[in-house]
Structure 1
Amino acid sequence: MRFVGRLMILLLVLSNAIVVIPAACAEEPVTLIGTIVKWRYPDADIGKSQMSDAATIAADGNRTVPSSVLKTTMTTPDSVEKVLAFYQDLLTRNATNDKTLGIEPDVGRSVVFSDESEGRPFAFHTILVNSEASSTTLIVTRGESEELTSITWKQYLRHDVGK
């Protein structure tokens, strides 16, 4: 009985600690799949995905800021043109798109679409999205004989953990 009483006290303390921890964080926790789904092309299959330390360092080798890099590859039978049209629409600034991507309305960013297909036997497009705290790259490719369009997505995030 004494063991059960101590266990109950421990569980009570731990449950309160779990409630307190998120309040101490400087920003919303980043999750891999939670971030990918914001950028997912509709009905695309999501392949191997990874999230790791971005190891942002200065020239002297010292870490400058906490950062992460997230990546995945998605595939769809849709054409490259249809995929590009989706991202052109998604990256047009408006309240709905900003909410979908989790972007604050007052955050500035640049968006660059580039076609690198010329002279290649496959479609090769890049989309670069940069802001003060993040950098997102989408590479959209499809070979002439391929049945799927591939969307490689990578995102660098700089974290604000406070002082």
Structure 2
Amino acid sequence: MLSGSSQERGRGAPSSGASSFAVVRPFWAGELSTLRDALLKPSAPKACERGPLQVDLVLYYAGGANASVDESLLSLVGELAKDPCYARVLVKHAGIGRSVGYPAAPCTQFVDMFTTSTPLWGYDAVYWMELDVRPVKDGWLELILPTMAEAARGDVWVVGGVY
């Protein structure tokens, strides 16, 4: 079950009536450095080329509240505040115990987004971007926005890779 805790940095919620999208980056404690590298590597393609988008970035930790993990995440959120592409950066906790192993843990983490009292945390569509997914060109997030809008309209439920 998701906890209600989140940390965020933002310039406000998407404008009223606009679709509400998020890029969700799931991870577990052992992947914190990989997550940091994926999000902050200077040579990585930029998510947007034309400035701020009405898209949030959600760092989705598999575990529950954890002082050392949360401290690292707060530091990461602070660094991500410099990225002009995202409206807000939030941290969510899935609250999955260490006794839940692979593949049940990541499956539970994914399903929990849909089974909370506010499915997908209230977003109309999310892009589930695991750590082995790497963008190949600048503006990648702008390029997938039409597909996210298609999902938000209910035209599709799951979409595979987009090139």
TM-score (norm 2): 0.30
Larger radius of gyration between Structure 1 and Structure 2: 1
Greater strand share, structure number? 1
TM-score (norm 1): 0.30
